[in-house]
Amino acid sequence: MAWRSSGTSNAELVENLWRNKLITQPLVKSAFLKVDRAHYAPSPSSAYEDSPQPIGHEATISAPHMHANAVETLLPFLLPKVEPGKQAAMGVASVKGQTGRPRRVLDIGSGSGYLTHVLAELVGDTGVVVGLEHIPALKRLGEGNMAKSAEGRHLLESGRVRFRVGDGRKGWAEPSPAGAQPGVGGPAATNGDNGETTEDNKDEAGGWDAIHVGAAAVELHEELVRQLRSPGRMFIPVDAGNGWEQYIWTVDKDDSGNIRKERLYGVRYVPLTDAPKS
């Protein structure tokens, strides 16, 4: 099913993902149509193939059908919060307990930056997406790829997308707005990373509505679960522990902080590791 979605243009690729029911929600489709995969893929000739492709440093840009499924799975936690009635009209289920806080999304192992951009198209003008990489050259790759389009440059300049360097297994605490330098990496601040809102930083209070992990973890890292907002959702590939199987898991935190973990389907991702020694 996966490979049948390749196209010769971005629009054709997205249309094929739609036809093959790998994208099922209109808002996801329009977000994918807005981001030209050729700006993020290693070679223009294979940019619209539905396959993972090497981007250096033993990393790959994941296959479009995987990006599609990740976004579909996280969608209720990405969209700007609107009244429940309107969200239904937009074609998505509303999520109980959501208030008007801007969305905050963490893309761990941002690699090419492609998914980071798609996520940013969904969170709306007030949302923030942080792409986190442990290899500085890949952080720069994602940023450089995003700067190829006017929309991408706007996302970087406005600070709505920021690429950072850090170990994704520990999550990320973004400095408060006053200290934030859009698009510039820096050490994690330790304040407000557990979803608490203070008067000073209520627009960008810590915690994440959605965490996407783009590399296979050895476990469902507790620190990442802790950094989820209530409600919030994580999408994470995890090694089954037998050396060859990996599965996508979702971890949901509900309004009251209760955790629900669900194993979805088998996958093949590069591992979430220590940064290579340089």
Q: Decide: is 214 part of the binding site for ligand SAH (CB under 6 A).
A: yes
CB-CB contact of 213 with 223 (8 Å): no
169 counts as binding ligand SAH under rule CB under 6 A: yes
CB 158 within 8 A of CB 136: no
Counting every residue written for the chain, the total comes to 278
Which residue from 168, 192, 206, 231 is in contact with ligand SAH, where contact means CB under 6 A?
168
Reading the block at residue 124, the tokens are 């709306």
* Residue whose CB is less far from ligand SAH, 114 or 235: 114
Q: In whole angstroms, what is the distance from residue 224 CA to residue 108 CA?
A: 10
Is residue 98 part of the contact set for ligand SAH (CB under 6 A)? no
Q: How far is the CB of 98 from ligand SAH (least distance, A)?
A: 26
- DSSP letter (8 states) at residue 38: G
Q: Minimal distance in Å, beta carbon 267 to ligand SAH?
A: 12
- Per DSSP, helices labelled H in 147-200 are 150-158
| 30 has catalytic annotation | no
109 in contact with ligand SAH (CB under 6 A): yes
Stretch that binds ligand SAH, among 102-110, 147-155, 230-238, 248-256 (CB under 6 A): 102-110
Nearer to ligand SAH, 62 or 87 (CB): 62
Q: How many residues bind ligand SAH (CB under 6 A)?
A: 25
Q: Element (H or E) spanning 69, and its range?
A: helix 64-74
No. of H helices and E strands in the chain?
8, 9
The sheet with strand 208-213 has its strands ordered as 161-165, 128-133, 104-108, 208-213, 228-239, 246-253, 259-267
Query: What part of residues 62-91 is at the interface with ligand SAH (CB under 6 A)?
Result: 62
Options 75, 95, 106, 108; binder of ligand SAH; rule CB under 6 A: 108
Selecting among 5, 62, 110, 112, the annotated active-site residue is 62
DSSP 192: T
d(CA 213, CA 246): 13
Helices (H), 90-240: 114-123, 136-146, 150-158, 222-227
Cβ 41 to ligand SAH, closest distance in Å? Answer: 9
Pick the closer one to ligand SAH by CB: 48 or 201: 48
Residue from 18, 32, 48, 114 in contact with ligand SAH (CB under 6 A) = 114
Q: Among 113, 7, 138, 115, which residue's Cα sits nearest to residue 69?
A: 115
By beta-carbon proximity to ligand SAH, the closer residue of 29 and 268 is 268
Q: Which of residues 120-159 bind ligand SAH (CB under 6 A)?
A: 132-135, 138
Which residues are marked as active site? 62
Q: Which residues bind ligand SAH (CB under 6 A)?
A: 57, 59-62, 108-112, 114-115, 132-135, 138, 167-169, 214-215, 270, 272-273
